Amino acid sequence: MRQMREGLSLLGFEPNDVLQHTNKRLVYAAEIYPEARLDLIRDRDTYSRGPSFVDIAKDWQERWLQMRIQNESILERVEKVSAATLEDELLAPSSRNCEVAS
């Protein structure tokens, strides 16, 4: 959307007159203590200390990691990962050496 706005501006159009999208911005939250949802809704902070790193890591292992390490296709993909493939995936598209079509 930002690139489209910039392009329309460069062409002399008012982007707000042309572009209107109905995509809502999503917000994700984790209920990490009792009544966290109420605090989020009421915009208040009643819980002074969050969960420990150990508790978060344990929950992550139980809810996410366990399923993935039992999935053969995921294990095969992990086996193929190298420093070069990670670097390629993490580079922003603008920093890659590629030609832009005119």
At residue 58, the pLDDT reads: 93
Indicate whether 56 and 89 sit together in one domain: yes
Residue 65 and residue 102 share a domain: yes
Same domain, 1 and 39: yes
* Three-state secondary structure of the chain: CHHHHHHHHHCCCCHHHHCCCCCCCCCCCCCCCCCHHHHHHHCCCCCCCCCCHHHHHHHHHHHHHHHHCCCHHHHHHHHCCCHHHHHHHHCCHHHCCCCCCC
46 and 57 belong to one structural domain: no
Averaged pLDDT in 10-residue chunks for the chain of 102 residues: 85 82 74 79 72 88 90 89 85 55 44
| Domain, as residue range, for 43 | 1-50
The total number of structural domains in the chain stands at 2
Tell me the whole-structure pTM to 2 decimals: 0.33
